Amino acid sequence: MKHVQLAEVRMKVERLSSLTRSIDLDYPTNRAIVIITLLFLFGISGFQLFLGRNISAALYSGLRAGAAVFLAWAFGRELDPDNELSAFFAAFLGCTGFLFFPSPFLLGLFLELLLIRIVNRSTGMPSKTSDSLAVLLLSGWISLQGNWIFGLFTSLAFLLDSFLPAPNRHNRIFGGAAFIVSVLAFLKAAGQENTSLNIESTFPAIQSGLFMLTVSLLFIPIVLSSRKIKSGGDMTGIPLDPLRMQAAQLTALLSAGLLTALRGWAGAESLMPLWGAILGVSLYGYLHMLLKKIT
pLDDT tens digits, 208-231:
889 999 999 999 999 999 999 999
pLDDT (average), residues 179-186: 96
pLDDT digits (tens, 9 = 90+) for 58-76: 999 999 999 999 999 999 9
Return d(Cα 166, Cα 183) in angstroms, integer.
29
- Which of 185, 164, 184, 181 lies closest to 241 in space, CA to CA? 164
Q: State mean pLDDT over 277-293.
A: 94
pLDDT over 80 at 3, yes or no: no
pLDDT greater than 70 at residue 169: yes
Q: What is the pLDDT of residue 191?
A: 76
Q: Are 275 and 268 in contact (CB under 8 A)?
A: yes
Residue 239 pairs in a beta bridge with 232
Nearest CA-CA partner of 188 in 157, 158, 151: 151
Between 4 and 193, whose confidence is greater?
A: 193
Residue whose C-alpha is closest to residue 178's, from 219, 228, 143, 221 = 143
- Most confident among 8-17, 46-55, 248-257 (mean pLDDT): 248-257
Which whole number is the average pLDDT over 85-95? 96
With bands split at pLDDT 50, 70 and 90, how would you rate the model's confidence at 193?
low
